[in-house]
Structure 1
């Protein structure tokens, strides 16, 4: 929603939708296969971060492994941002 709220032109909306689609597709695919293989987040041993390439930079998805078969994405931020909102 944050990206959609900031889009001002139709080109912004197209780029925003492409970013959202890339985040969803990458997170769904990679977390379904190997959720334990990504870097650990500092706060909680059950939390990890998935790097999602997009354009020249990308996004970081913070997720928690609730069980062996369940992963919950807690937040997504741009790689240039300092922290999750």
Structure 2
């Protein structure tokens, strides 16, 4: 089964924020970071249940870890039904929490 992956407005804003943060340092790094996030999210099209649970009480709220450099990113998502996954937020692993 293949899932459709949707981004909430907040998740899109997070992606832009993370890109701009990296862009201040280096354009190529910023582009590679966004590409790593997108490739990581691609896994959700086929295997969303392989990611860790973000909430013990909600088995459909999960987190995907995306490696990048010496750390990476955390993607918060929810499995909506048997056809769709919604990306709720994206943060750098060194950030304290989602924005």
Q: Answer whether TM exceeds 0.5 for this pair.
A: yes
| Alpha-carbon shift at residue 44 of structure 1 (Å) | 5.8
Q: What's the TM-score once normalised by structure 1's chain length?
A: 0.85
Counterpart of 1:42? 55
Runs (4 or more) in structure 1 with deviation over 3 Å come to: none
Structure number with greater CO (CA < 8 Å, separation at least 6) is 2
Aligned length: 82
Q: What's the TM-score once normalised by structure 2's chain length?
A: 0.74
Deviations 1:7-54 (A, max 9, x none): 235xx12111110011001111x1012101111112761210000111
Q: How does 1:1-85 map to 2 (within 5 A)?
A: 1-6=16-21, 7-8=23-24, 12-28=26-42, 30-42=43-55, 45=58, 46-85=60-99
Rounded to whole Å, the distance in 1 between the matches of 2:53 and 2:66 is 15
The alignment partner of 1:41 has SS state of strand
Unmatched 5+ stretches in structure 1: none
Rounded to whole Å, the distance in 2 between the matches of 1:72 and 1:83 is 18
Give the root-mean-square deviation of aligned CA atoms. Answer: 1.6
